[in-house]
Amino acid sequence: MNPQTAVFPELDAAARPGKAEREDHKLEKRLCREVGRAIVDFNMIEGGDKVMVCVSGGKDSYAMLDILLKLQQRAPVRFELVAVNLDQKQPGFPAHVLPEYLAQVGVPFHIETQDTYSIVKRVIPEGKTMCSLCSRLRRGILYRVAEELGCTKIALGHHRDDMLQTLFLNMFFASKLKGMPPKLASDDGKNVVIRPLAYVNEKDLIRWAEVRQFPIIPCTLCGSQDGLQRQVVGNMLREWEAKFPGRLENMFTALQNVVPSHLMDPRLHDFKSIKATGQADPEGDKAFDAESFAPQVAAKIAFMAQ
């Protein structure tokens, strides 16, 4: 502690608001930078685009809309934003919250009302996971609304941690090395889906929601179900990060550094035609890349190779 604040604690109290404001400003700059980087890296938004920003009432979609509005003012190209919420008629859903917030923000918006809640409750047996059917119904409706509104892009609020969770869910339960792409063509072939928060970690979104005091609406359908596999995987990743700080960042970076020749999918690499050529290949076997080991281990590996 500063000696002055130890004697005069009111000095420390006076300094805190300024420090908090600086931290909030740094967080805002980081969020804008990461979202902007994702947009550029994957060409998510182009001049003349009309982007449908899907807003659910959760922290992630609020933050996505908030940051996109900031970037819209600074971007070198002109694009439109329209916020869209799907009111699924869940019991107790406060239908007034989002329209009031969106009107206050000043963004054009559309509220689509479709009773998918009753369909999900009728079709899915009690105690079973509702997410799959709910997401399929929601996706179909949003695709239709995007076409009706003349939107060229559909922005979803999935962040870095969501993308890592999806990777592990597919490995554990679907036997696929498949993640959640930052940009894709929709399955109906009529839309392009983008995830501007692809580089953003969830901790920053939690903090930003507190700073901006978004009127969060909890999900009473899937969000209230306990023991969902996504929750289990999310807890696992958070435990890893707590024990080994930086592990999630390394895993996420690995998604952008794929080496098909060192996996096992013959559709991605022609293993059958591999033959010894007698010629050194700088891109050949990298299974024991010496640079990734401690110097003494690397020296031992080099000696053994000789």
The answer to the question of residue 277 being in a domain is no
The answer to the question of residue 102 being in a domain is yes
The answer to the question of residue 184 being in a domain is yes
The answer to the question of residue 51 being in a domain is yes
Residue (of 96, 29, 32, 102) closest to 62 by Cα position? 102
The answer to the question of residue 93 being in a domain is yes
pLDDT for res 2: 47
> In this structure, how many other beta carbons lie within 10 angstroms of the beta carbon of residue 119?
15
pLDDT for res 139: 85
Give me the number of domains the chain comprises: 1
Which residues neighbour 85 within 8 Å (Cβ) at sequence distance 6 or greater?
54, 55, 56, 57, 98, 102, 109, 110, 111, 112
* Residue 173 near residue 165, CB atoms below 8 Å: no
Q: Does pTM top 0.85 for this prediction?
A: no
pLDDT for res 117: 76
pLDDT for res 220: 58
The answer to the question of residue 175 being in a domain is yes
Q: What region, left, alpha or beta, does residue 81 occupy, with left being phi > 0 and alpha being psi -120 to 50 degrees?
A: beta
Computed on alpha carbons and rounded to an integer, the radius of gyration of the chain in Å comes to 24
Cα angle, residue 237 at apex, residues 169 and 242 outer, rounded to 5°? 175
* Residue 169 near residue 230, CB atoms below 8 Å: yes
Write out the residue range of the structural domain in which residue 123 sits.
3-254
The answer to the question of residue 293 being in a domain is no
The answer to the question of residue 135 being in a domain is yes
pLDDT for res 12: 47
* Residue 127 near residue 165, CB atoms below 8 Å: no
pLDDT for res 190: 85
* 3-state SS assignment for residue 269: coil
Token pair, residue 188, equals 């109906």
One digit per residue, the tens of pLDDT, for the chain of length 306 reads 444 444 444 444 445 568 888 999 999 999 999 999 999 999 999 999 999 999 999 999 999 999 999 999 999 999 999 999 988 888 788 889 999 999 999 999 999 988 877 777 777 666 566 666 677 788 889 999 999 999 999 999 999 999 999 999 999 988 999 999 999 998 778 889 999 999 999 999 999 999 999 999 986 555 444 457 888 898 999 999 999 999 999 999 999 999 898 899 999 999 999 888 888 877 666 555 555 544 554 555 455 455
- Tell me the backbone φ, ψ of residue 51, rounded to 5 degrees: -100, 120
Question: What CATH number is given to the structural domain containing 93?
Answer: 3.40.50.620
